[in-house]
């Protein structure tokens, strides 16, 4: 199978490194380039998704054909007006984890930069997945909503990954406290509708302005 190429957004890397008004110098940018090149060599990016119907109930939202019920006010608002959803999982593979760990034993600056580059890489991969979902469904999409956001429990992670057969499809397993392995992996729920969604939720574009934690998050644009 041909290796998927990820176009990593340098601005995202810089944001993950914690820069705001001040831009990194040439020395940092050089390390970013070095880490990106090294990661591109070892990453095996992959994603998988399933489109499933939704049944909205007073006590939660059933994902039809599965044992998954989505509970919480935040996910209910997120999926309001949606009759289907896309469950997705994406990872840049264990190669990224191994490279970051090797840097940790040699050079912590490179380790921190490589971690930021890998985070930006998995975000770019998720954007690619959303584009494919959009092209395949020709629907209006919400942005990605992951277990652990707001009041959506991280405890749904095992069921979600099982529905996606994620271990076999993309190599994602779960460790302690439902933390995914490889570490640079993402699961998400995207609402789908045949009708235009409410303002503020109608775009599948990832944005800090859609997040309730935007003023508390260390990586926020705000």
Any bridge partners for residue 55, and if so which? 62
- Cβ-based neighbours of 69, under 8 Å, separated by 6 or more: 60, 61, 62, 63
Q: What domains can you pick out in the chain, each with its CATH number?
A: 10-210 (3.40.109.40)
- The pLDDT value recorded for residue 21 is 73
Instruction: Tell me: cis bond preceding 182? Omega within 30 of 0 counts.
Output: yes
pLDDT over 70, % of the chain: 87
Mean pLDDT of 154-177: 96
| Predicted confidence (pLDDT) at residue 163 exceeds the cutoff of 50 | yes
What whole-number distance in Å separates Cα of residue 68 and Cα of residue 65? 9
- The pLDDT value recorded for residue 90 is 98
Burial class (CB in 10 A: 0-12, 13-18, 19+), 135: exposed
- The pLDDT value recorded for residue 198 is 57
| Predicted confidence (pLDDT) at residue 110 exceeds the cutoff of 60 | yes
Nearest to 171 by CA among 10, 1, 16, 12: 1
- The pLDDT value recorded for residue 11 is 93
Nearest to 181 by CA among 70, 101, 102, 86: 101
- Cβ-based neighbours of 41, under 8 Å, separated by 6 or more: none
Using 50, 70 and 90 to split pLDDT, how confident is the model at 212? low
- The pLDDT value recorded for residue 43 is 96
């Amino acid at each position: 199978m041909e290796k998927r190429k990820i176009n990593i957004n340098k601005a995202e890397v810089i944001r993950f490194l914690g820069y705001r008004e001040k831009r990194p110098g040439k020395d940092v940018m050089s390390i970013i380039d070095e880490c990106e090149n090294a990661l591109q060599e070892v990453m095996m990016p992959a994603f998988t998704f399933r489109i499933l119907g939704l049944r909205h109930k007073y006590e939660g939202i059933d994902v039809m054909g599965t044992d998954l019920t989505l509970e919480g006010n935040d996910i209910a608002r997120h999926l309001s007006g949606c009759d289907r959803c896309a469950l997705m999982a994406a990872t840049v593979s264990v190669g990224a984890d191994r490279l970051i760990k090797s840097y940790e034993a040699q050079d912590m600056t490179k380790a921190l930069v490589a971690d930021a580059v890998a985070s930006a890489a998995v975000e770019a991969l998720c954007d690619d997945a959303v584009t494919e979902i959009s092209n395949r469904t020709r629907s209006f999409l919400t942005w990605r909503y992951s277990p652990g956001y707001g009041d959506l429990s991280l405890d749904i992670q095992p069921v979600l990954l099982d529905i996606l057969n994620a271990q076999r499809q993309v190599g994602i397993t779960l460790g302690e406290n439902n933390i995914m392995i490889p570490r640079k992996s993402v699961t998400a729920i995207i609402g789908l509708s045949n009708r235009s969604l409410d303002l503020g939720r109608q775009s599948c574009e990832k944005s800090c302005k859609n997040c309730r934690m935007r003023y508390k998050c260390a990586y926020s644009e705000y």
